[in-house]
A = this chain, B = another copy of it.
Amino acid sequence: MTRLDTPETSSASRKATISRDDLIAAALRLLGPHRSISTLSLREVAREADIAPNSFYRHFRDMDALAIALIELGGRSLRTIIREARVRVRTGRSAIRTSIETFMEQLYADERLLHILLREGIVGSDAYKAAVERELRAFEDELCIDLVRLSEAAGKPIHAPALVATAMTRLVFAMGATALDLPRERHGEVVEQLVTMLRMIMLGACELATQDDRSAVS
């Protein structure tokens, strides 16, 4: 029996109805930590979800629509970081350290949604790359609001907060990508490195604001 025959012959045991989330879960199981979305076929996802290929279309127009849904889930996982950071900062913890710790937790969460953003942003089709870029920008917009709020609360203006948000996000992502392959016991090291890096960016942005100020006066 060839592998392609399997879904046909096992159709007796196939589920009658499955949800959109079941299909997403099936795709995530197949992707694992290394495969890119473009290597997934509709037939394969249907088989993993234990439905007839045609039932796929009840939930998604095509595989590209499923891919965009996965990328958007990755974006939601990112926004968790901001939400968590806001809660924890209220308990007096450092905003930078808290955000990075939450990022690392999300990076290694079971669903590995952040991996999808990391991977498809580099090797995805143009549509996938654009979707990743949208999610990163949405995150950066939220981060920018928080940076301005924190800097006002501290009475220390920062230069170009939107650029600071982009620099922080892209650097954490890039370092996160290399951290993916490190053993768990070395994550603490990466957290410390990132904390120092983001502090440098933040201090530098304050310093540049002071220089802006001086040149405005002179």
What's the least CB distance linking A190 to chain B, in Å?
A: 11
Contacting A204 at CB < 8 Å: which of B123, B129, B203? B203
How far apart sit A196 and B204, CA to CA, in the bound complex (Å)?
A: 10
Q: Which one of A9-17, A58-66, A71-79, A171-179 is at the interface?
A: A171-179
User: A: which residues have CB within 8 A of B?
Assistant: 34, 36, 118-119, 121-123, 126, 129, 133, 159-160, 163-164, 166-167, 170-171, 173-175, 177-178, 181, 193, 196-197, 199-205, 207-208
Instruction: Check if B197 sits within 8 Å of A163, measured CB to CB.
Output: yes
- Counting from the closest, the 4 A-B pairs by CB-CB distance are A200-B204, A204-B204, A203-B204, A174-B174
The dominant DSSP class at the A interface is helix
Instruction: Check if A199 sits within 8 Å of B208, measured CB to CB.
Output: yes
- How many identical subunits does the complex contain? 2
Instruction: Check if B118 sits within 8 Å of A122, measured CB to CB.
Output: yes
Q: Which residues of B contact A133 (CB under 8 A)?
A: 178
Instruction: Check if A123 sits within 8 Å of B202, measured CB to CB.
Output: no
How far apart sit A201 and B159, CA to CA, in the bound complex (Å)?
A: 13
Q: Contacts A170-B174, A201-B204: A163 and B122 contacting too (C-beta < 8 A)?
A: no
